[in-house]
Amino acid sequence: MRAVSEFMELVRSAGALPPEHVMQGPSSEPVAVIDGREVLVFCSSNYLGLATHPEVKAAVAEAVMEYGVGANGSRLISGTTDLHVALERQTALFKGTESAIAFPTGYMVNSGTIAALAYLPYFARMAGLPVCSDERRTVVLSDELNHASIVEGGQLARGPFVHYAHSDLDALEVKLREHRDKRPLIVTDGVFSMDGDIAPLPGILELAAEYGATVLVDDAHATGVLGRTGRGTLEYFGLEAGDNVLHMGTYSKSYGSMGGFLAADLATTDYLRVAARPYMFSGAMPPCLAAGILAAMRVAEREPQRRVQVLRNRDYIVYGLQQIGFDVPGAGTPIIPIVIGDDEAGMALSAGLLERGLWVPCIRWPAVGRGQSRLRITITAIHEREQLDRLLEGFAEVGSALGLV
């Protein structure tokens, strides 16, 4: 692998290899230990603070004693337990859909679902079954800032994969018109993971109804946080879940565990069980994690103040950063981006904060576009006011020293 070695040497010499910090203990708590020193963590997606909740840990420990540490098989062979079934039923109930299907990771949900839905006509022919009445090819219409898992799903879709300008409804309609001869699948993040802004779902659903499109909403960063009861972006806008909406979400953010799901009608979830390759050919989610997620969902429903607190903490940080002089985009979500632009300046700001015991990584290309480097703060319900004040003090000190404010 000489070519790989030469490439990595260039990456290291250019200082482009992201630092990988090793923690001694949980990474989901506000305080972590890195290299023997305590730091405050502002990059965890443990939004509701449930990853280390005693009730959640107890549920996992009890399930480990009964089910072991792994499923030891794919869902279609020996990997489905009563805990998986219970989790899918609870997820469907929470999202207000007929059914739900759980995958080992959220990444697998998007890549597997998009590819499977686009592949339907070919899958039917391979199986020797009649093709449905609508034989048109699927075109995947994707917001240009969608998550990498959506991009990969589109690449696997064996059909047209078309980007439209970020949250631009006019641009989306242009693409829908251009592909009138195809079956449209519109895919969008509910909350965009690097900017923290919210997709214009009311307008997207209006266009979908007009052009006969299905909409897949990636609510990984909204499920458990947005909406009156935490059901996500649709509830945030006061929208009802129609038959043409597929709800994607993860258990690795608000519920502090691992895995992802698609909530939809029963026919769609049944189809994905036999057509989504990441579901079919991967080991199932460990049953103990399913038990922990179920416990986390119970706590989240019982303690809605967690959802309120994470957004209060977010508003406190955004106001403080704006007072310091930083330009802070975003739209009322736990993701707070501070766009720096220059890689070296972003890395210097992150390093200066870490020296002060504040962990806020710098996100660079390819996670974001070139020239869009940023520090990406994520806030949780269990960050305390004193910890938030320390973060603001650090940004004021380091930002001033670097001439960024």
Distance CA 240, CA 188 (A): 17
Residues 165 and 222 occupy one common structural domain:
yes
- Chain segment 93-121, per-residue pLDDT in tens: 999 999 999 999 999 999 999 999 988 76
Other beta carbons within 10 Å of 62: 14
Residue 224's closest CA among 301, 313, 146, 295?
301
Residues 391 and 255 occupy one common structural domain:
no
Average pLDDT over residues 50-58: 97
Q: Is 160 a domain residue?
A: yes
Q: Is 8 a domain residue?
A: no
Q: Is 111 a domain residue?
A: yes
Residues 335 and 251 occupy one common structural domain:
no
Distance CA 397, CA 405 (A): 10
Distance CA 100, CA 115 (A): 18
Distance CA 68, CA 65 (A): 6
Give 200-245 as a DSSP string: -HHHHHHHHHHHT-EEEEE-TTTTTTSSTTS--HHHHTT----TTE
Q: Is 276 a domain residue?
A: yes
pLDDT at 312: 96
Are 284 and 71 a contacting pair, CB within 8 Å? yes
pLDDT at 277: 93
Give the rounded percent of residues in the chain with a pLDDT score beyond 70: 96
Residue 359 belongs to what domain range? 19-45+304-401
Domain boundary among 302, 326, 345: 302
Residues 274 and 385 occupy one common structural domain:
no
Are 172 and 141 a contacting pair, CB within 8 Å? yes
Domain boundary among 264, 281, 302: 302
Residues 190 and 70 occupy one common structural domain:
yes
Average pLDDT over residues 290-312: 97
Residues 341 and 227 occupy one common structural domain:
no
Are 248 and 261 a contacting pair, CB within 8 Å? yes
pLDDT at 134: 60
φ/ψ of residue 353, rounded to 5: -65, -40
Q: Is 110 a domain residue?
A: yes
Q: What's the chain's average pLDDT?
A: 92
Residue that the structure tokens 């290309």 belong to: 365
pLDDT at 186: 97
SS3 category, 94: helix
Residues 182 and 122 occupy one common structural domain:
yes
Quote the number of domains for the chain: 2
Q: Which two tokens stand for residue 396?
A: 């004021």
Residue 30: partners with Cβ closer than 8 Å, 6 or more residues away: 40, 41, 380, 382, 383, 384, 387
**CATH number, position 389:** 3.90.1150.10
pLDDT at 135: 66
Domain boundary among 252, 268, 302: 302
- Chain segment 262-299, per-residue pLDDT in tens: 999 999 999 999 999 999 999 999 999 999 999 999 99
Residues 284 and 364 occupy one common structural domain:
no
Are 84 and 75 a contacting pair, CB within 8 Å? yes
pLDDT at 42: 96
pLDDT at 342: 86
Residues 30 and 145 occupy one common structural domain:
no
pLDDT at 223: 97
Residues 340 and 322 occupy one common structural domain:
yes
Q: Residue 188: how many CA atoms within 13 Å on its side-chain side?
A: 28
**CATH number, position 293:** 3.40.640.10
Would you place residue 129 in the very low, low, confident or very high pLDDT band (cuts 50, 70, 90)? low
Average pLDDT over residues 7-19: 76
Are 198 and 232 a contacting pair, CB within 8 Å? no
Distance CA 152, CA 139 (A): 14
Residue 30: is its pLDDT beyond 70?
yes
pLDDT at 131: 61
- Chain segment 335-367, per-residue pLDDT in tens: 999 989 888 899 999 999 999 999 999 988 777
Q: Which of 15-24, 34-43, 62-71, 162-171 has the lowest mean pLDDT?
A: 15-24
Residue that the structure tokens 């319900």 belong to: 381
pLDDT at 330: 66
Are 337 and 374 a contacting pair, CB within 8 Å? yes
Q: Is 80 a domain residue?
A: yes
Average pLDDT over residues 190-217: 96
Q: Is 10 a domain residue?
A: no
Average pLDDT over residues 65-72: 94
Q: Residue 211: how many CA atoms within 13 Å on its side-chain side?
A: 26
Residues 239 and 318 occupy one common structural domain:
no
- Chain segment 139-180, per-residue pLDDT in tens: 999 999 999 999 998 888 878 899 999 999 999 999 999 999
Residue 75's closest CA among 314, 361, 251, 269?
269
Residues 107 and 244 occupy one common structural domain:
yes
φ/ψ of residue 3, rounded to 5: -60, -40
pLDDT at 29: 84
pLDDT at 107: 96
Q: Is 11 a domain residue?
A: no
